[in-house]
Each structure stands twice: as C-alpha cells, then as structure tokens.
Amino acid sequence: MSVQDYLDKHTLSRKIEDAVNAAVRAKTADPVLFISNHMRKAVPSAITKVRARQILDSRGIPTVEVDLYTNKGMFRASAPSGAPSGMYGAIELRDGDKATYLGNGVSKAVKNINEKISEAIVGMDPILQNQIDQAMIDLDKTEKKGELGANAILAVSIAACRAGAAEKEVPLYKHIADLAGGGNHVLPVPAFTLISGGKHAGNNLALREIMILPVGAHTFEVALQMGSETYHHLKAVVAEKYGPHGCNVVEDGGLAPDVTSFREGLDLVMEAIGRTGYADKLKIAIDVAATDFCIGSKYDLDFKSPKKSGQNFKSGEEMIEIYKELCRDYPIVSIEDPFDKEDWEQVKFFSGLEICQVVGDGLLMSNPKRIERAIQENACNALLLKVNQLGTVTEAIEVVKMAKDAKWGVVISQRSGETDDSFLADLSVGLATGQIKAGAPCRGERLAKYNQIIRIEEEIGDQASYVGENWRQS
C-alpha cells in the first residue's frame, strides 16, 4: 500500500488539515503539541483492554486490582474489603482454598475479569458508566453478584469511572458529579476514628469506634490539622494513663487502650480535645455496632470480658436511656448502629427522639430495599455507604440519591480492608455527601483518602466549600 493509499484509507489528510487549521485559529505557540492533542481527541473513545491481578489489602488479605486501558492511557482501581455483609450485601468472590491465603484468595474473581468481563466491555465508551455497570450486572445474572464477584465488578467499575473522567478531561469528582446529575462540589466533614473497640480491637470496649467531627473548621485542610493534633494529644493521654501499649493501633488506625466502658473512652477523647483548644469546633460521633453484642433482645456490654460476660445485659429501652445520657453529657451528634440490625422498633423510636443523627450501617447494608424500608418507617436518618456492598459506581450514585431525597445524611465509609486507592474521596466530593469516614489520621491507606480531599480543595481553589456546620444539609 502506498503512502497516499494509506492516507486515503484512514482519511488522514483531512484530519491533519483540520488539526493544522485549528492550530492556526488558536494562534498556538507550540503547534506540534497542539496538533498532537487535537489528533488524540479525534480518536474514538473506547475501552481497549482490561487486566486484573491479585494484590493484598491493608490487612494482608487478598483483594482485586484492575488496570483498564483506553486510548487515553491506563486507569487503575482496587476493591476495598470488609467483614462479610451477610444476606443483604453484594458477595465478594473468594477462592475458598484453605491451603492458599487461608481460603481468602481472589484468583477466581481475577479470572472472571480477565476472561469474561473484559470480553463484555472492551470497545465500550468509558464515559457511559451506567452502560458499563449494567453490562457487568447482566453478565453476572445474580442478585448479589455472586457469579462474577462484587469485588471483581467494583474494581472494574471504579477503573472505568477514572477512564471516563480522563476521556472528558475533567477531574474524577467532577465526572462523578456529572454522572449524578450535576450539583455543587462540597468538601465533607471527616469523621476521624480516635478510639477503637468492639470486634475490631483487643480491649474490653463494647462499642466499635469513637470519632471526632471538626465541624468548626473553615476548610478541609484545617479540619485535617484538627484531627491530627487531637489524635496525637490522645496518644499522649493514653500513654500517661495506660502506658505505651495502650497506643497500639487497630486496622483503621484507631487507638485501643484497655477501656471498659463507653464513658471511660469518651472521657479520654474529651481530655485530648481539651488539650487542643478546639473544644468549640469538634463534635463526637460513635459507632456502636450493637449487632456484635446483641443476644436475643438484650445487649451484653461486657461481651468481651470472659469473667463478666452475661452480667451486664441491657434491654433496648435501657440502651436508649444510655444514649440519651451520653448525648446530654458529651458533644455527641451522631450514633451509628445503636441497635441490632433487625431491631427496627427500637431504632425507629430512638430516631424519632431527634437527639442526634442516627446512621444505618448494619441496619441497611447499603441495600436499596433496606434503605427504602428505613425511609418509609423513619427507622434512621443517615446512610452509611460502603460501595463494595453494592458493587458498582452507578448503584452507589442511586442509593445516595435515595437518601438525599429523603433528607437523610450520607456518610461515605471505608472498609477494614483498604488499599491506597483514593476513590472514596472523589466520590464524597462528587456526590456532595457532606461526611466521610475513612479511619484515623494515621496509616497510609486511610490518609490516601484524606490527602486526596486536600488536593481537591486546592484544585477547586477559592470556590472550594467545606460543609462545616452544615454537614447534615449538604
């Protein structure tokens, strides 16, 4: 084939002429760079290759990582992972071979991406997130993504979202906002984990997390500073009272001193807050994760103490009184999972008191049907969103819309098994959730999210809006 035949076959002469004319009109100082970029934009947008592998998450447990290629380049994403979400959440596909990674390998999920999902989505336009996600859902054919694995589908979905943003030449958070129908880009209030307990820690504290919310900061950067300083003041307080071993950290970076009661842990946090000088700018949130210590219709506050377990049972009514007293005595503005995941009556009654934000995690499992029921029954007033319980970016956008339409708060949440993927930061800003829970201001996989929001705030510049006191109305 001659050069002229080649040019004619691909209509290159016309395309090159168009690029040169565009460069002339733009009066560009670098015509070669301008023409190169112009020609690149003329290439049809399409996914050209998808490649997955097994990596380890922050717990040292396997998870899925995906490289998705388009004409713009390569886009990487990895799936977060947590404790199994039971009958209501999407299913992570694990190998089950106890001889390899104690059964936690994800080679089956990786194979599904490389051999099945790749074939289904190569050639698709990465901008069309909904179509890509639906193609994977249709390929899986199960309600909870148990055939291909939610971990496989989610990693591809996030990678495709990044590719779509690149194709549009906009930041990821802006692309997510566009997918959700537009809206303001607000920077969320971070819920920093300070003290950990429950099944996540080896101490005797029944509740899972005590967190602080820097609602009085004027920027996210200042909020991060407040969180870091409070965390380090708390380390000093804990070291003074419990010795250096009390400063050991758990999976999400929270400290785990051997406290035995809600109030003992809250008093430590209050002392740390007092040392910072930010007392009027910080509020407290707690994640009770009450399902972990619910036995029948009672709650065993000493379930982690072998010698005491069974001696400190509380009824649902007694738990309500405990929460009312805690909200009176401490600046608590949010309580997550105050009751068992099936204790709808108690959580409805407690939410109706309007004492604080009541967040549904185990109650909802990010499941649209559970969310719809909770909205209809006024069972809580905030959604804790864990994207891996759904499996696609599109479904995450849809449940956030459900929550916002109900005037709920929305908390974008980490999992115990995280990676250095910062997608949750862009998701929170893009969907204007107003709240993000990414762990302590400690450990790289947690800070990856917080540091990304710092970058986003810098990029937006003077137009950046930190929700602060309006964290519930974003």
The answer to whether 209 is a known ligand-binding residue is yes
Beta bridge partners, 50, equal 68
Identify the active-site residue in 386, 421, 426, 449. Answer: 386
Please indicate whether residue 168 is annotated as part of the active site.
Answer: no
The answer to whether 167 is a known ligand-binding residue is no
DSSP one-letter string for 258-304 = ---SHHHHHHHHHHHHHHHT-TTT-EEEEE--GGGGEETTEEETTTT
HEC secondary structure over the chain? CCHHHHHHHCCHHHHHHHHHHHHHHHCCCCHHHHHHHHHHHCCCCCEEEEEEEEEECCCCCEEEEEEEEECCEEEEEECCECCCCCCCCCCCCCCCCCCCHHHCCCHHHHHHHHHHHHHHHCCCCCCCHHHHHHHHHHHHCCCCCCCCCHHHHHHHHHHHHHHHHHHHCCCHHHHHHHHCCCCCCEECEEEEEEEECHHHCCCCCCCCEEEEECCCCCCHHHHHHHHHHHHHHHHHHHHHHHCHHHHCECCCCCECCCCCCHHHHHHHHHHHHHHHCCCCCCEEEEECCHHHHEECCEEECCCCCCCCCCCCEEEHHHHHHHHHHHHHHCCEEEEECCCCCCCHHHHHHHHHCCCCEEEECCCCCCCHHHHHHHHHHCCCCEEEECHHHCCCHHHHHHHHHHHHHCCCEEEEECCCECCCCCHHHHHHHHCCCEEEEEECCCCHHHHHHHHHHHHHHHHHHHHCEECHHHCCCC
The answer to whether 345 is a known ligand-binding residue is no
At 375, list the tokens: 């909205």
The answer to whether 76 is a known ligand-binding residue is no
The answer to whether 125 is a known ligand-binding residue is no
Identify the active-site residue in 57, 95, 140, 252. Answer: 252
Strand, helix or coil for residue 413: strand
The answer to whether 208 is a known ligand-binding residue is no
The answer to whether 413 is a known ligand-binding residue is yes
Please indicate whether residue 343 is annotated as part of the active site.
Answer: no
The answer to whether 416 is a known ligand-binding residue is yes
b/e sequence 290-328, b meaning 16+ C-beta within 10 Å: bbbbbeeebbbbbbbbeeeeeebbbebeebbebbeebbe
The answer to whether 54 is a known ligand-binding residue is no
The answer to whether 232 is a known ligand-binding residue is no
Residues tagged active-site: 252, 386
Mark the binding-site residues, compressed into ranges: 200, 209, 287, 336, 361, 413-416, 437
User: Residues annotated as binding site for substrate?
Assistant: 200, 209, 336, 361, 413-416, 437
> Which residues belong to the annotated binding site for Mg(2+)?
287, 336, 361
